[in-house]
Homo-oligomer: A and B are copies of this chain.
């Protein structure tokens, strides 16, 4: 397929780059308002306890303290993102009666400065009656275990099942059955900007909150809910945001506290978390314990799979329901599984709640799938890439009633990495040598946004307003939220391409719930480019219809002519000389409408795409490693990726996502972990919590295969999350190739490697 794009597919510099590089970008904590108070949260020091009494009197008496609140002072309204299932909303803005993990929010202080706020926190006296604490999914589900939430049996707050085909038959007919247990750990989003928000209450009672969020709309709705206010009396503005990765897509308790305390004090109130708080109590990727049983014919054909996953949700549900579903979805994806049975269980423990995190169920499920594929290849004597090619999904594949694949470049990706890495030669060589070098493979697929309305929004999933002017400029208004991933640039590109103008011609107003059109579900599930992009195309079709009408009139054009907007002009497609400048066309349309400005609303809701997503990305990644057999340190030398993200709207932005994904995948696979003792996290600084740095990064080589998705904007699909999944299984496979040790748990630390090599 050949496309003659002007701006799509070009390396457009990030529109926010200058502001960030020059220090002009204002993040939430940079904002200051006159009379502003500083908030601080008192967190539980115990993992599980009843609150017997809270005495705030000493804190209140401290000079400079303006307000101290506890759960009892709040309207005590529960909340959660899964509004479609109200009983899943298991959190309160501040603890009521019980605390459930070390870090649980108990009280909040607003004071005239940060030090006073901290001092005040230390003066609040809480009497706890400690309860037995639970730290593992097995303990949580054990008979007689204490209930972390009163009404939840087995501490299992929800289960998800996916089932199709005859699994029993598959295992009965199989030539090879693998059955393994995998354990993956929790990791932090480690976004550069700790959470921060600033709320102010206007004299008319309306609240404005600037907050580091991926989802202004959710914050608006849930803040209104917990405050007992009307949605539209709350205004949420997203300033610059320094990363989210899924960790900033819920109402956070400090957002409630800032808003509520600004309402009570009449002063603006700001909360900014420390890194210590983030690592001690912040959301994280779900640790999971997974059992997987998979059946093959000896020619490599997959016959079926039975997959069970226990999600360690920590103290609250958070985004656990979605993680449980997506884990199951991706456990049965990527390859054709004629039969599949998934059971996912979301289990409470007395640990910090896990939530959404880049990949969202897929990294866990795909570590299992990809590791078992590599194990099966070994046992069947089939090359891992050949085994994948035999089973790989293709466009047109369908899980009836659930999902359908409209575009798929998976096989091309597999062929591409095979060729680019000299796979056949190296795999053979390293496997035979069993020296210190290995090469391994991992693959992935991911969603381009979710098609299931778990938030129960009453609005389209995304909406934009496009205004065009006779000076050749356009204004794009959207609630879509750039949190560092670059959608402010990509959405401009799509608008510019649609209208045939330049990226610089576009003013963007984004992520302000009182100004931008209702609504947008936010930045998660790699949905923004796909959905907001389609909404822009929808709006532009209305704009262009008007431009084409006046051009038809002006040129007295034959009705058979197609027209297009390109290179700053509007013209007959087959007679490019016949046309007018874009701004002149706008002027004419405005004149035709006797002065009315040319404005269009566009929206997108993924109807007709089943329950999962309208489009899937695919890809394959090969890692080459060197193991230092004396220290156990695995050095990842090179990562080679071929991926199908549909049309890359902005290739350098895609590259950025890939590099960031490799960095995160590397940390997940080898270095990051929460070291905990009795529910307490011991490594709450970046000195101790080991995120890979630029110096740790492997050489990176990548290829985008040419795929055009029929439903994506300009054929685009996701590129933001899927790529985080293949790195861990690829590294694990490369280690196996090099050293004949197969890891089924993460992270693969030097210590574990040494132990496996029996050197420790």
Contacts and interface: CB of A to CB of B under 8 A. Distances in A.
Contacts of A203: 18-19, 22, 24
A204 interface: yes
Contact of A603 (B463, B509, B596, B605): B596
Interface string A462-483: 0100010111110100000000
Contact of A514 (B22, B471, B507, B603): B507
A594 interface: yes
B22 A517 contact: no
Interface in A9-38: 15, 18-19, 22, 24
A233 interface: yes
A232 B597 CA distance: 13
Given A18-B203, A24-B203, A203-B18, A232 B475 contact: yes
A594 to B, nearest CB: 7
Contacts of A751: none
A592 interface: no
Contacts of A599: 517, 601
A164 interface: no
Nearest to A25: B203
A473 B233 contact: yes
Interface string A498-523: 00000010010100001101110000
Contacts of A206: 507
Interface string A446-476: 0000000000011110010001011111010
Contacts of A400: none
A211 interface: no
Contacts of A596: 459-460, 463, 601, 603
Contacts of A603: 595-596
Interface string A291-311: 000000000000000000000
A587 interface: yes
A650 interface: no
A590 interface: yes
B204 A504 contact: yes
Interface of A: 15, 18-19, 22, 24, 203-204, 206, 224, 230-233, 457-460, 463, 467, 469-473, 475, 504, 507, 509, 514-515, 517-519, 587, 590-591, 594-597, 599, 601, 603, 605
14 contacts: A18-B204, A19-B203, A22-B203, A24-B203, A206-B507, A230-B472, A232-B507, A233-B471, A233-B507, A458-B587, A507-B514, A518-B597, A595-B605, A596-B601
Given A204-B504, A231-B471, A515-B515, 7 more contacts: A19-B203, A24-B203, A231-B473, A458-B470, A458-B590, A517-B599, A594-B605
Please list the 8 inter-chain residue pairs (A to B) with the smallest Cβ-Cβ separation, ordered nearest first: A230-B471, A232-B473, A518-B597, A18-B203, A460-B595, A232-B469, A231-B471, A459-B595
